[in-house]
Structure 1
Amino acid sequence: MRLTHPERPAATARHRRLPPLALLTCGLISLSPVPALAETCTFLNPVGGNGVTPIVTKTVSPGNPLPFGRPNWNTDFYVTQQYRYFKLFFTANSSVSATYPIQSYLKFSDGSNLQVYNSNFTPTPGTGGSIRVAGYPGKMVNQVNIKVGATDNMAATGFTYRISVQGCK
């Protein structure tokens, strides 16, 4: 199975459209194996993690219409140094197949962010894939965000998954 790069969304106050050259430098995203070219990859620590494992296990929660309710869809990973690219790993833990809406963002030290992935993924239980995302030249990434779940696709509610991120030089 291959995840394909979606069209870039329209600009919003939190998400700005980048010029075409900038989009090209962000890299391609796929589930295809990436050949190892003397790379050094390090797992990134999740924000709010237990300090023992870089792998986060979650269950997709429903959205909450209450003003103070928040779903558990977002998971951030700390980036403490410059990396050429990132590998985002996703594995379905549930015993039955589900379609997971997945988005991912690079968050920058200047407060801006860039959506680098937005698609639905339907892995066989116990399997998953990885997404390769190039770093952004000229900006320091300080967090990688993975969002699993969406109000427009509630079918994955209750399904569990594991995610992790590596930074590679």
Structure 2
Amino acid sequence: MMILVAMTPVVAAPCQFLMPIGGDGSTTVTKRVDRPKISPLRMALGRTNWNTDFAVTQPHRRYKLFFTAQSTEQANYPIQAYLKFSDGSNLQVVNESMKPPLGKGAMFGPFTAPEGKAVSQVNFKIGASNDPGASGFSYRISVQGCR
């Protein structure tokens, strides 16, 4: 007796780019790290442009985060990223510094949400008051949600 088995290739789950909140309609955000005003206690004062949130409008199983250096001079980029949940909590998924050459960077992830948590936003934070050397350097970021 012969048994025939149909082999179907495994296809990667489709991914789609998420839209940044308050963006211009593009899924990729390009920014320059602003230098913060520093208090005598070495704390950042006022608003910085370090945070960028991407909206999650439908459930995804995994999230991939992309960072690319845009400056012609190498810089040390402090990078943090968080999954933000609908209950107001969050989970830090990236906390590192990178010094990539122009046009190079990294993909972080894929990251999954903990059981029972619904992701509402993905947050990138590039820059830190304890590393003012990154000020003035440009970068490009984007986020994908994957089924």
Which category of TM-score, normalised to the shorter sequence, fits these structures? Answer: 0.7 to 0.9
- The alignment partner of 1:155 has SS state of helix
TM-score, with length taken from structure 1:
0.74
For residue 128 of structure 2, the aligned residue among 147, 150, 169 is 150
Q: 1:138: how far off?
A: 1.1
Contiguous gaps of at least 5 residues in structure 1? 1-35
Q: 1:82: how far off?
A: 1.4
**What is aligned with 1:62?**
35
1:43-94 deviations in Å (ceiling 9; x for gaps): 000010112x100000000122379721100000000111111110111010
**What is aligned with 1:165?**
143
Kindly tell me: are residues 133 and 148 of structure 1, through their superposed partners in 2, closer, same or farther at Cα, counting changes over 3 Å? same
8 Å Cα contact 2:38/2:129 also seen in 1: no
Kindly tell me: are residues 114 and 50 of structure 1, through their superposed partners in 2, closer, same or farther at Cα, counting changes over 3 Å? same
CA distance in structure 2 between the partners assigned to 1:154 and 1:104 by the alignment: 19
**2:85 paired with 1:108:** yes
**2:70 paired with 1:93:** yes
Alignment length (residue pairs): 133
Contiguous gaps of at least 5 residues in structure 2? 1-9
How large is the Cα RMSD of the aligned pairs?
1.6
**2:22 paired with 1:48:** yes
Provide runs of 4+ in structure 1 moved above 2 Å. 64-68
- The alignment partner of 1:103 has SS state of strand
Larger strand fraction of residues: 2
TM-score, with length taken from structure 2:
0.85
Q: Structure 2: which amino acid aligns with 1:139?
A: K
CA distance in structure 2 between the partners assigned to 1:98 and 1:47 by the alignment: 26
Q: 1:96: how far off?
A: 0.8
8 Å Cα contact 1:116/1:133 also seen in 2: no
Q: Identity percentage over the alignment? A: 54
